[in-house]
Structure 1
């Protein structure tokens, strides 16, 4: 009898369906790739390496959306339809703003009518900088910055043909003696006891200096008194005069000058008087006086018994004298001299002089040069005409606001000054003096009344061995009483769901109704006659009974709950709402919705 019933059952299936197993196949296909699972995952360093991200972060959400589905398929190969994953990952969002450093070119200065590598003294740079920056950075983001470095001449500018007026290597043989005698009258005494300034056969050297390692040198003594000089030809009576010498000091006293330019023999119209004194700690300070014996000393402490190249400049028209102390030859005149002094203008340079006197040093001096340009001090080659004049380097910062480059203004910007750096005991930020170590405390002192959430764009000087000086910056936010720097990498999350074939980015928000939500439903719909029986059942049993609630009623109250907690959602936003229901037994059931228009519909 059982066999007959089984045959009848099979016979019935054959005649009621084209494929008696079709429903079974469809159910299997719906979950073809395996079981449903849920995971909350934070990517590790090992995960980033698996993803080929050696830098440990994604550059965009799109990059994460492209990479993570495959990552999940490999990690959970048996998971299938309705599986979900919430993945936390590091997202690189970049700097708070961009700071470009730009140095003006000859073409930029030409916009002001200058033919020089710098603005002329009568020019107002701000009249041209905006257009120059806009031309260089025609595409920018709101809030970007440009730090423009430019030069401006401080006085007269002139064009000269580089020429050497003196190249004195002291090549007077191998026998030591007093300088005036061994030089055969090239050097003459003009003050003090004669025959005290001595010639020595061994000279000084410095790589690439053109008056190096030729002949002997002269020796001056702190106890000597003879002063000597030698002629310059051609004489220099205008523009700028440069003089140089190699020097190695063995002893220094309280300080006085030992090397200078002078007019006629017997005249005491000296200029560019170069001197040295003890720093009080066994080292040397170099100084210069434009025309007076009262010198301005630099702050750098130099070593005894070390060969240095000293270079002076004297501008005839202004009386300004500068001193540079070099440890190696430099083809370019340094921006900042070791010391500067201003004295009488109009002195001509017809001779150079060497002085011995009380307080002066004991030293070996060699390789004297006098020329009309820095370049001809450093080279014996035939050089092209060049422009000579003192200039200063400046820095101006502009920001891109409402489509134009303008000077920063308002309360959301601050640029550290040299005075600010001095107040925190450093000259600039760098690899060993991180801005983050100093700025939070500095900003608390600078802005003691800043409010929670205030944001300040802070720009500052940064110096590195590879790129030199530049302007950098970051945004700082007042957070819990502390100024916190912008984070270039933040933690982001991406939700994904398996559709039966692939992992797809999913914006589903999961939410479980709580007691307050059920109270909201009763308060909202309790007086509605269409919901009277359903709400009464909810009030009695504390759940949504599918025997008392229609699907339409459930959808209506779920819309109310979602809109209560999640306003302003975008089209196609998905929700997975967990509801406590009774459908023969009390249990949690997940209802899925998607926003279409202004209504959440079953998904």
Structure 2
């Protein structure tokens, strides 16, 4: 009542003083006078369950940050009516943040975006490169269900007696004598003058039955199948077949995968004099460096020389027309697997231009943890019954699942480091069995699941008669961001070494005295260049908290807090 009387008295005084001023001027002066009478505070506040209920929430949390930013100012106005201009409150609240798996299908232009000339990935390295480029602001614990084309690794399979029995049943009507013989003897009769003879075309049909039963019909996938034969004496043969979308066909040659480290060591020794740098590198790292700017670069011609040397060593009796599909590891910033088809012509292997690259469509879930993308750790089927005491290969209680998985991780990852995150995939039954995902964090010597309700803190300031949330945008630099900075600073000769190092390693060298050292002033200039590119339209007063990778003797990160003032990005303290 006293406060009301005071405000009324002040109002009458101001009206008498201003005389004939318009009413809007009167209101402005009253507001300014009242603000001058209110307290300026800097305090902390944590929402209670009653607060959420008062704000109309069904649960003691918010479903999004936007909801929190919209609703909390109303609460603060009720709680702190005596706080005025210049006041700041750090408000803590609970946020419902369930794990979400985003789905994305890679397009033909996506492959080109990371400089792939073919419309497929060759391995995990290229998939990770794409995810880094596609999601440069990915937060720890983010998940993506990705559908893409990938170079198919040839699968090997050997026919069993049970497989020959299946062939005998399925082809009994079409090839009665041959099918009966195959089932009885567990081999294909290759004597062309016998009623039980199996031609190559007949064998393709037989293999199609087995592969379809064993693996399903996966378009583009190749299978190198070994089987017993009889041609007057017992022996074995192999054939590579592929499902083309309609039927199985015979393709390619023998699959050969570089064995690490023996094959790479052989190449290193064989070419030590001709190509000392590349040879030493391949022997050390067990992959071929295919970066044209590298001193250890392996050109296509050099690779063909290396494959010739190895195949001649491994198969000295190979005859004209012998075909191989060679799988080998390459390095182009990350390690990937490449496949090349070769055929023996004369006394050398050449690229088989008639052989087609085998690709398949694949869908997998990837998680971003500890600064990189990879597949989540999948709980083995055997662990549910053998380790967790479940009746079936799944969980049916979430709390029990999290508790037992935490113990399992401690046993299987005894050298986990403080703060390490592990993405986990597990089977869960709730009327049907599904694959679920959870993130676990290693802290204080044990693993614990990251809950779906997390605590967030936002700063609110009192401006123009209302509480306003802080507008800081948190942004973690990704691979493409370092390229943007490199392009922007390319013309600065003083930065040449530092920029080259940053672009190569996707981090800033923060070792004082190093030739590639980035000072605080240089980093500020780099971040200005980045924000001018990615946030050029940002309004005056916009804030950014940027997290970037550094090297100071070990790989870690730093933060820089900037605000846009006068059209430039300056440090915000």
Q: Identify the TM-score tier after normalising by the shorter chain.
A: 0.3 to 0.5
Higher strand share: 1
Between Structure 1 and Structure 2, whose CA radius of gyration is higher? 1
TM-score normalised by L of structure 1: 0.31
Higher helix share: 2
TM-score normalised by L of structure 2: 0.32
